[in-house]
Amino acid sequence: MKPAAAPTPAPGHGMDSAAVRARMVQKLAAMGIASAPVLRAMGLVERHRFVDSALVNQAYEDTSLPIGLGQTISKPNVVARMGELLLDSPLGKAGPLGRVLEIGTGCGYQAAVLAVLAREVYSIERLRGLHDKARANLRPFRLPNVHLLFGDGMLGYPKGAPYAGIIAAAGGDAIPQAWLDQLAVGGRLVAPMVTSGGKQALVVVDKTAQGLKQQLLEAVHFVPLKSGIA
Ligand code: SAH
């Protein structure tokens, strides 16, 4: 996705970003991402606009990068994987995904990807500095379906509930009850969680008419989920 009124490219990045993104998409497909809408979204969103100019040349590598205040932008492969898991839920398969909640806006990259996959995106960040940074990063893209919120995402965002999907970009010891309460029936939550042994794994929780179904997937490395704002 290109900004509505394309600002001049970051000085000195010297790359044809569409071609570099197309190569990233090929690599994501080779790593097992199969969802056409997700691959399309990853090809559209200009990740280099979400990182500092000194890191622009690494923007399309499959690596997390610092975004300030001790936080990181997630690896493309992880963003794509989480998007694919969201779309693979009953509500995701039934048609375009409705409202999605993201906990941990960070630099706003994943919110921009989700904006292609879902009708409405609510994204909440607890660090004022990053909330402001995401707002500035996303402004040129003019995405009317992205709603940036400053607050403690452990409480979710009840005003937008119920959500067809909830995605967390930070991992705690447990899945907050508020997230489960705010998930729609047929909806899916995808989040990192600290498991026994102190390592993180990706957790998927589906809300069905019969109750919650949880699956523990692969190991991941996300920043910690923290309470309160700063
Ligand atoms: N999706 C982001 C990833 C940012 S890293 C991106 O594309 O850049 C995860 C973010 O989660 C950090 O910015 C961190 O401050 C935030 N975070 C951690 N705990 C949180 C909470 N309780 N509520 C909201 N944001 C939180």
What global pTM score does this model have? 0.95
Mutate to test the pocket of ligand 1, among 65, 127, 194 (most ligand atoms within 8 A of CB): 127
Read off the pLDDT of residues 172-229 as tens digits, 9 standing for 90 and up: 999 999 999 999 999 999 999 999 889 999 999 999 999 999 999 999 999 999 999 9
Read off the pLDDT of residues 41-96 as tens digits, 9 standing for 90 and up: 999 999 999 999 999 999 999 999 999 999 999 999 999 999 999 999 999 999 88
The fold of 66-224 is Rossmann fold (3.40.50)
Compute the half-sphere exposure of residue 191: CA atoms within 13 Å on the CB side of its CA: 31
Q: Among all residues, which ones are annotated catalytic?
A: 74
Q: Provide the pLDDT for residue 6.
A: 53
**Over the range 116-155, which residues count as b (16 or more CB within 10 Å of their CB) and which as e?**
bbbebbbbbbbbeebbebbeebbeebebeebbbbbebbbe
Q: Which residues lie with the beta carbon below 6 Å from any ligand 1 atom?
A: 67, 71-74, 103-104, 106-107, 109-110, 124-127, 130, 152-154, 169-170, 223, 225-227
Rounded-to-integer distance, Cα 114 and Cα 108, Å: 10
Q: Which atom of ligand 1 is nearest to the CA of 134?
A: 8
- Rounded to the nearest integer, the mean pLDDT of the chain is 94
Q: Provide the pLDDT for residue 20.
A: 95
Q: Provide the pLDDT for residue 13.
A: 44
Q: How confident is the model at residue 12 (pLDDT cuts 50, 70, 90)?
A: very low
Distance from the CA of 229 to the center of ligand 1, in angstroms?
11
217 contacts 203 by C-beta, under 8 angstroms = yes
